[in-house]
Amino acid sequence: MNINGQRLLSNVARFAEIGKVGEIGVERIALSEEDKEARDLLKTLMLDLGLEVHIDQLGNMIGIRKGRKDLPAVAFGSHLDTVYAGGRYDGALGVIAGLELIQTLNDQGVETDHPLAIINFTNEEGVRFAPDMMGSHVYSGQAKLDDILVSKAYDNPNETVGSQLKAIGYDGALKPGSIALESFFELHIEQGPVLENEAIDIGVVEMVQGIHWTRYTIEGEANHAGTTPNQYRKDTGYASAEIIKFIGDYSRKEENPVLTTVGSIRYEPNTINIIPREVSFTVDLRSTDKEALNKGQIEIDTFINKAVNESDLAVKSEVMVRFEPVHFPKEMPDLVENTAAGLELRSKRMPSGAGHDAQMMNHCCPSTMIFVPSVNGISHNVEEYSKDQDVINGANVLLNAVLNRAKQVS
C-alpha cells in the first residue's frame, strides 16, 4: 500500500506556512502563538479524519483511530515545535506523515485490529523550557508532570510551562501516558550527512546515542596583556584552548568511538588586551557505546583537572545532561528494515546521533525510528531540506510498518 505523495507534501507545505522564515524555514517555538496555530490546524485535520482527539495535561495531542479489538494502540508521531530559525521537516514530518497514513487507510477502507494513535509531543526542542523531549519524558514516566509544569522560560521567569499551556488553550485533562500503546514509530529526517553521502533511502534506527552535556568554568586572573610576563599569567584562554584541542583530538582517535563538540564558549572580560580571568565552555559528548561514553567522560575530566592544576588555575564543572544510549528492541528496527526491503528501498542500520521522542517512548513500549536523508546533512537551520521522494519513501515505510504491527484486517 502507498500513501499519496502529493497530498503529503502539500500538507508539509501547509504547516510550514505557520511560523514561516524566509523561503523554506520555520520558527515555531513550543507554547508560542505559532505552536498554538499549528496545533489548531492539527486538531482540525485529526477531526476531519474522524479521529478521537485527546489533549493531556502537558498538552501532548493524541488522535485515536479505533481498532477492531480492544487492544493497545500502535502509535506514531513526533513534534510540531521547532528551534529558533529552524526547518519544516524536523518533527513536523513525523506528525504530518501520520495524518497521511490515516487518510490513506480511510480512503482505502482499511481497518486494523489495534487502534492507531498519532501523537504530537509538547516541546521536543527545549528551546525556551527545559527539559527537551518534554512531552515524551512525561508520557513515558521519565519525569513527573508537576515538576515539569513549573519549568520557567529561559528568557522570562514569569512564564512557566503550565502558564503557557493555559495561555494557548492546550492544558488538557487527560493524565499523560494513560493511553496504552503497543508500539511507537517516529519518522524523522536524519539531520546528518550519512544517508545522502552513501545514497541510502532509509535509515533504520537501532539505537540513540548516549549524551553527556557538561559546562566547565576555568578560573584564573585578569591581567594586562602588555605588562604581565608569561610566568605571572593565569591565562584561562590559553588553558581552555589546550583543553578544547584535546577534546577534539580525543574524538578523532580511532580507539575512542565518541563524538565531542565544544559548541559554546564565553571569555570574561572578553577584551582584546586583558588576559581572560574566566572561561566557560560546554562539552557535548556522545556515543552509542555506554562504556566508551563513560570512559571518554572520565578521560576528558582527568585531562581538564591536570591541565588546570599544572597552570595553577581552578575549574568548576556543572553536569547538565547524562543520557545513556537507548537500544530499540531488535524486532522494531528489523520490521523497518524488512518493510523498506519490501518497498525496494535501500536501507542502512544506524544510530541516531540526536535525541528524539522515540528514545523516551521506548521506556513504555517497543519503539524505533525511520530516517530519511537530509540534504547536506543540514538541520536546526532554515536551510534544512529533504527531497520530496525521500520524504514520500519514509511515509510509505511508516505506513507499512504500522500496518504490520496493527494487523490489517481488511
* Nearest residue (CB) to a copy of itself, 8 versus 239: 239
* Nearest residue (CB) to a copy of itself, 173 versus 272: 272
The reply on whether position 218 binds a copy of itself by CB under 8 A is: no
Among the listed residues 9, 41, 53, 222, the single contact to a copy of itself using CB under 8 A: 222
Only one of the segments 94-102, 139-147, 189-197, 335-343 lies at the binding site for a copy of itself (rule: CB under 8 A); that segment is 189-197
95 vs 324: CA distance, rounded Å: 26
What's the min distance (Å) between Cβ of 288 and a copy of itself? Answer: 11
- Please report, as residue ranges, which positions from 226 to 265 form the binding site for a copy of itself (by CB under 8 A): 226-230, 232, 235, 237-238, 240-245, 248, 251-252, 259, 261-265
The reply on whether position 104 binds a copy of itself by CB under 8 A is: no
The reply on whether position 404 binds a copy of itself by CB under 8 A is: no
* Nearest residue (CB) to a copy of itself, 108 versus 271: 271
The reply on whether position 307 binds a copy of itself by CB under 8 A is: no
The reply on whether position 278 binds a copy of itself by CB under 8 A is: no
The reply on whether position 306 binds a copy of itself by CB under 8 A is: no
Q: Write out the chain in H/E/C secondary structure.
A: CCCCHHHHHHHHHHHHCCCEECCCEECCCCCCHHHHHHHHHHHHHHHHCCCEEEEECCCCEEEEECCCCCCCEEEEEECCCCCCCECCCCCHHHHHHHHHHHHHHHHHCCCECCCEEEEECCCCCCCCCCCCCHHHHHHCCCCCHHHHHCCEECCEEEEEHHHHHHHHCCCCCECCCCCCEEEEEEEEECCCCHHHHCCCCEEEEEEECEEEEEEEEEECCCEECCCCCHHHCCCHHHHHHHHHHHHHHHHCCCCCCCEEECCCEEEECCCCCEECCEEEEEEEEEECCHHHHHHHHHHHHHHHHHHHHHCCCEEEEEEEEEECCEECCCHHHHHHHHHHHHCCCCEEEEEECCCCHHHHHCCCCCEEEEEECCHHHCCCCCCCCCCHHHHHHHHHHHHHHHHHHHCECC
- Please report, as residue ranges, which positions from 30 to 69 form the binding site for a copy of itself (by CB under 8 A): none
**Could you tell me if 347 and 200 are in contact, meaning their C-beta atoms sit under 8 angstroms apart?**
yes
Query: Binding residues for a copy of itself, how many (CB under 8 A)?
Result: 58
* Nearest residue (CB) to a copy of itself, 39 versus 286: 286
What's the min distance (Å) between Cβ of 189 and a copy of itself? Answer: 10
The reply on whether position 319 binds a copy of itself by CB under 8 A is: no
What's the min distance (Å) between Cβ of 352 and a copy of itself? Answer: 8
116 vs 75: CA distance, rounded Å: 6
Only one of the segments 39-47, 64-72, 105-113, 373-381 lies at the binding site for a copy of itself (rule: CB under 8 A); that segment is 373-381
What's the min distance (Å) between Cβ of 286 and a copy of itself? Answer: 5
The reply on whether position 272 binds a copy of itself by CB under 8 A is: yes
What's the min distance (Å) between Cβ of 362 and a copy of itself? Answer: 17
What's the min distance (Å) between Cβ of 185 and a copy of itself? Answer: 19
| Contacts for 65 with CB less than 8 Å, ≥ 6 apart | 49, 50, 51, 102, 105, 112, 115, 116, 117
What's the min distance (Å) between Cβ of 88 and a copy of itself? Answer: 16
Among the listed residues 191, 297, 339, 400, the single contact to a copy of itself using CB under 8 A: 191
Residues that bind a copy of itself (CB under 8 A): 190-194, 197, 209, 211, 213, 222-230, 232, 235, 237-238, 240-245, 248, 251-252, 259, 261-265, 267, 270-276, 282, 284, 286, 320, 352-355, 377-381
